[in-house]
Amino acid sequence: MGGTVHTPEGPREVDVQIAGGVITAVGNDRAPEDARTVDARGMYVLPGAIDVHVHSRDPGFPQKEDFGTLTAAAAAGGVTTVVDMPNTVPAVDAAGVMESKAALARRQARVDVGLWALLRSGTTSEDLEGLAAAGAIGFKAYLGYAFSLTRKQVHYSPDLDDPDLEAPPDYGTLARLAPVIAELGLPLLIHAEDPGILAAFRRPLETYADLLAARPAEAEAVAVAAAAEIAGASGVRLHVAHLSSAAGLAAAQEAIRAGAPLTLETCPQYLWLCDDDFRRLGNAMKVYPPIRTASDRDALLEGLAKGVIGMVATDHAPHTDEEKAAPFGEAPSGSPGVQTLYVSCLELAKRQGDVWRAPRWVSEAPAALAGLQESKGTIAPGFDADIVIVDPNKATRVRADVMRSRQRHGALDGMEFGFSVRATYLRGSLVSGEGRRAERPSGRIVRPFRR
């Protein structure tokens, strides 16, 4: 009680009442005599974030991360739901795999977990229906990423002579399956880098400039335009993951103007950093698609300010600090980020003149994408009591020693944001903060409401 609450009507100095894990009242009604109260005077009371782009690495690479470390980092950062990418091993390409992964996640999850399914070039309509029935939040297509049939693993490989590799999904795959996905009422997600353009510009990576030349912005723009055409024709809701460039944004805007049902996500690393930061950060900022120039960053900031880009997710993609210490060309791409999503977005929104935009980027809009808009993303009666208490007068400095992920050094290392997460509640129970860490996994598997 006593905080400034982000309500659907805007910020209000009201109390939030909770019973049985659900919000029962938002206002100034008198609390029941026996109610336990939390003093939030001077604090912001925000809906828990829903990070729709995380890589748990579990199962497959628990040395990089697992559901325990991922969700501990999430809880510490005010993220109460994570939606996990399907490039774990075995990759999530069938209902049975999804069910085993859900069971594994449930045993360790400190916050709620949703699961994306993988779209392969060999995926059938029956596969999609099975995955939807198993609770898939939607389907992710990694353009240009092949699939190892024996290892059941997604990996970037331009070499398709290997008989073990199934060709990556292409625009034909998207066009074939988009009507089925539309019928199921779920979103189609794309990793938008056109494989033909990546192949044409492939080169050894010695410098950061090599990376930018090898994965140019036009690869993103071409993939966005092509997939948006398919979305327009089929009516499938298309979501572009980790938008990284001015050209990609322009292509998306064009498609939206033409009526394509498109949602756009970018990530804090593309909003805070540019190529110049490589001198300071090194491999910690090696991510795919790459962090580009200052003008790309500024275009993305403007797209976010105008609402063309509606959400921010992290692409939390940890490796081990040892793996990231390899020479630039060999080091794996990816950075942790889930723990700093909320504070970094609050700082951005404040600089844009309206701090209350942040919960829309990280909570409201992602809830709609993931089909969770009936239960999450809003502080209103009937919604899950996933609530974050943020101190607007205490800064967070991003330091390896306070990170809960296995990879402790990330792209935002050294940054300072003028907000800190004081406590995170999942369905009314404290899961992080107030000197406490959630040791008992109380996260659940969430399923989408299908339109």
> According to the binding rule CB under 6 A, does residue 80 interact with ligand NCD?
no
The listed partner (ligand NCD, Zn ion, none) that binds 333, CB under 5 to 8 Å by sort, is ligand NCD
Q: Which of 201, 288, 328, 356 binds ligand NCD (CB under 6 A)?
A: 288
Calculated CA dihedral for residues 237, 267, 193, 143, nearest 10 degrees: -60
Quote the least distance from Cβ 85 to ligand NCD, whole Å: 7
- Given the complex with ligand NCD, which of 138 and 359 has the nearer CB atom? 138
> According to the binding rule CB under 5 A, does residue 275 interact with Zn ion?
no
Quote the least distance from Cβ 311 to Zn ion, whole Å: 14
Q: Provide the CB-side half-sphere exposure for 144 (13 A, CA).
A: 20
> According to the binding rule CB under 6 A, does residue 87 interact with ligand NCD?
yes
DSSP code of residue 429: E
> According to the binding rule CB under 6 A, does residue 266 interact with ligand NCD?
no
What is the distance between the alpha carbons of residues 77 and 79, in angstroms, rounded to a whole number?
Answer: 6
What is the distance between the alpha carbons of residues 361 and 327, in angstroms, rounded to a whole number?
Answer: 35
Quote the least distance from Cβ 413 to ligand NCD, whole Å: 16
- Given the complex with Zn ion, which of 52 and 221 has the nearer CB atom? 52
The token pair at 407 is 């990879």
> Of 218, 210, 203, which Cα lies nearest the Cα of 278?
210
> Of 416, 351, 419, 431, which Cα lies nearest the Cα of 82?
431
The listed partner (ligand NCD, Zn ion, none) that binds 47, CB under 5 to 8 Å by sort, is none
Helix (H, G, I), strand (E, B) or coil at 143: coil
The token pair at 254 is 């064009």
> According to the binding rule CB under 6 A, does residue 314 interact with ligand NCD?
no
DSSP code of residue 111: S
> According to the binding rule CB under 6 A, does residue 409 interact with ligand NCD?
no
- Given the complex with ligand NCD, which of 334 and 377 has the nearer CB atom? 334
Say how many residues touch Zn ion, by CB under 5 A. 1
What is the distance between the alpha carbons of residues 273 and 294, in angstroms, rounded to a whole number?
Answer: 8
Q: Measured at the alpha carbon of residue 338, what is the angle toward residues 334 and 339, in degrees to the nearest 5?
A: 125
What is the distance between the alpha carbons of residues 394 and 186, in angstroms, rounded to a whole number?
Answer: 39
- Given the complex with ligand NCD, which of 18 and 146 has the nearer CB atom? 146
- Given the complex with ligand NCD, which of 331 and 368 has the nearer CB atom? 331
Segment contacting Zn ion (CB under 5 A): 73-81, 220-228, 250-258, 314-322? 314-322
Neighbours of 125 (CB within 10 A): 14
Q: Which of 7, 16, 26, 55 binds ligand NCD (CB under 6 A)?
A: 55
Q: Give the nearest residue (CB) to Zn ion.
A: 315
> According to the binding rule CB under 5 A, does residue 296 interact with Zn ion?
no
> According to the binding rule CB under 6 A, does residue 333 interact with ligand NCD?
yes
Please report, as a single letter, which amino acid is at residue 341.
L
Contact between residue 304 and residue 320 where contact means Cβ atoms under 8 Å apart: no
The listed partner (Zn ion, ligand NCD, none) that binds 87, CB under 5 to 8 Å by sort, is ligand NCD
Quote the least distance from Cβ 85 to Zn ion, whole Å: 5
Neighbours of 200 (CB within 10 A): 11
Q: How far is CA 407 from CA 49, 180, 228, 395, 402, in A?
A: 21, 38, 35, 22, 11
Say how many residues touch ligand NCD, by CB under 6 A. 9
The listed partner (Zn ion, ligand NCD, none) that binds 357, CB under 5 to 8 Å by sort, is none
Segment contacting Zn ion (CB under 5 A): 75-83, 265-273, 307-315, 359-367? 307-315
Print the binding letters for residues 10-49 with ligand NCD: x by CB under 6 A, - otherwise.
----------------------------------------
What is the distance between the alpha carbons of residues 78 and 23, in angstroms, rounded to a whole number?
Answer: 17
67-76 vs 95-108: helix axis angle to the nearest 10?
60
> According to the binding rule CB under 6 A, does residue 317 interact with ligand NCD?
yes
> According to the binding rule CB under 5 A, does residue 84 interact with Zn ion?
no
> According to the binding rule CB under 5 A, does residue 315 interact with Zn ion?
yes
Helix (H, G, I), strand (E, B) or coil at 224: helix
Please give the residues from 154 up to 193 whose contact with ligand NCD meets the rule CB under 6 A. Answer: 191
In the chain, the N- to C-terminal Cα span, in Å, equals 35
> According to the binding rule CB under 6 A, does residue 245 interact with ligand NCD?
no
Quote the least distance from Cβ 317 to Zn ion, whole Å: 5
Cα of 170 vs its chain's centroid, Å = 23
For binding to ligand NCD (CB under 6 A), which residues are involved?
A: 55, 87, 191, 287-288, 315, 317, 333-334
